[in-house]
Amino acid sequence: MKKMTSLLLAICLFSLMTPCGTALADTVRIGIAQYADHPSLDNCREGFLEGLAMGGYIQGQNLEVDYQNAQGDIGLAAIIANTFVSSGINLVCAIATPMAVIAVTTADGRIPVIYTAVSAPVASELAYADRPFDGNATGTSDQLPVHDQLALIRALQPQAKTIGLLYTIGEINSQVQASLYREAAADYGFEIVESTITTAADIPLALPKLISQVDCISMLTDNTVVQHLDLVLDQTDAAGLPVYGSEIEQVKDGCVAAVGIDYLELGRKTGLIAVRVLQGESADSIPFEVLSEFDLFYNQEVLTRMSLSVPEELLPLLSEVSDAL
């Protein structure tokens, strides 16, 4: 019994060494729960903090932020959500669909959840199509501009016939996007070939077959695949297969082009929604927002490597992006 007590004491003492701040009276405490570690989601987070600042909530002054990243691990995401909900914070910002679903379910209406980077809120049961939500949650959606992307691919690869999609079988947003692609592809003269994985480890194993069957690959906003884009590019570069991204960061990292979502802007929108909720509006009274403007990005270096080029008439619409580090 003595040993047990001393062991418990030891744990307490050890934990004491980690700083625990005392909350100031008018400080708002926000938890940011990010599902995975990749630039798109990071941009979201940066934008979110900017949005909050624009609404008058500045970190260090009247805002305390606890940022946790689940590294793509659903189990960790659940722990993070539980921790936030039971620590009495004012609001949770959940970045990416799995995190959003877990956060909303765990919070169970007790704390407002503002989500972002959720591609299909209705399909993920984070919003209702025909009426206001009842779970004290709202946010922004990064619905993919599928038609614009297909048009871009057609313009850059006039001869292409098949587009490959690689995504995680368990991700709702990916499943929804894949079906959008399937519906729209025929309009642009494409066929879709799909390959599904369960974990990141499957990516190198699934790619060879997919690469052999398609003329290019188009990225969805699948969290696992986006987080491990480098694994994809390793093989596609070697095979000379173009990969179209879903966001500017991916084009910087080596995708040939993208009709992209500006996640910084998405994040800012999210931050502004959070401001409204913090100031008293009910989350359920705010419908989720989407971006209506998209930018077109291309990476010249990669284009050249793939022996592709941007048609003259499209050049003014596109922004070049370099392999920025």
Residue 20 as a binder of another protein (CB under 8 A): the answer is yes
Q: Which is nearer to another protein, 194 or 295 (CB)?
A: 194
Residue 75 as a binder of another protein (CB under 8 A): the answer is yes
Distance of CA 38 to the CA centre of its chain: 8
Pull the structure tokens for residue 207.
């790619």
The residue within the footprint of another protein, chosen from 46, 50, 73, 301 (CB under 8 A), is 73
The C-alpha atoms of residue 89 and residue 310 are separated, in whole angstroms, by: 49
Q: Which is nearer to another protein, 13 or 238 (CB)?
A: 13
Answer yes or no: are the C-beta atoms of 92 and 55 closer than 8 Å. no
Pull the structure tokens for residue 268.
């800012």
The residue within the footprint of another protein, chosen from 168, 236, 246, 270 (CB under 8 A), is 168
Q: Which is nearer to another protein, 21 or 60 (CB)?
A: 21
Q: Which is nearer to another protein, 101 or 180 (CB)?
A: 101
Residue 201 as a binder of another protein (CB under 8 A): the answer is no
Residue 179 as a binder of another protein (CB under 8 A): the answer is no
Residue 292 as a binder of another protein (CB under 8 A): the answer is no
The C-alpha atoms of residue 63 and residue 28 are separated, in whole angstroms, by: 5
Report DSSP state, residue 92.
Answer: E
- How large is the angle between the packed helices 97-107 and 74-86, nearest 10 degrees? 40
End-to-end CA distance of the chain: 56
Least distance (Å) between residue 43 CB and another protein: 23
The residue within the footprint of another protein, chosen from 50, 53, 83, 301 (CB under 8 A), is 83
Pull the structure tokens for residue 214.
């398609």
The residue within the footprint of another protein, chosen from 169, 201, 205, 315 (CB under 8 A), is 169
Pick the stretch among 150-158, 168-176, 181-189, 237-245 that binds another protein (CB under 8 A): 168-176
The residue within the footprint of another protein, chosen from 18, 159, 292, 307 (CB under 8 A), is 18
Cα angle 47, 49, 50; round to 5: 60
The residue within the footprint of another protein, chosen from 32, 36, 41, 80 (CB under 8 A), is 80
Residue 311 as a binder of another protein (CB under 8 A): the answer is no
Residue 46 as a binder of another protein (CB under 8 A): the answer is no
Q: Which is nearer to another protein, 83 or 162 (CB)?
A: 83
Residues 121-150 close enough to bind another protein by CB under 8 A: 125, 134-135
Answer yes or no: are the C-beta atoms of 174 and 167 closer than 8 Å. yes
Q: Which is nearer to another protein, 279 or 282 (CB)?
A: 282
Pick the stretch among 104-112, 154-162, 213-221, 314-322 that binds another protein (CB under 8 A): 104-112
- Check residue 162 and give left, alpha or beta (phi > 0: left; psi -120 to 50: alpha): beta
Determine whether 55 is exposed, middle or buried from the number of CB atoms within 10 Å of its CB (0-12, 13-18, 19+): middle
Least distance (Å) between residue 15 CB and another protein: 4
Residue 120 as a binder of another protein (CB under 8 A): the answer is no
Determine whether 121 is exposed, middle or buried from the number of CB atoms within 10 Å of its CB (0-12, 13-18, 19+): buried
Which of these, 257, 271, 246, 91, lies nearest to 178 by C-alpha position? Answer: 246
Pull the structure tokens for residue 41.
């989601």
Alpha-carbon separation of residue 210 from 100, 138, 146, 218, 221 (angstroms): 30, 37, 20, 12, 18
Strand partners, 247: 261
In the complex, the residues that contact another protein under the rule CB under 8 A are 1, 3-4, 7-8, 10-12, 15-16, 18-23, 68, 71, 73-80, 83, 86-88, 98, 101-102, 104-106, 108-109, 125, 134-135, 168-172, 198
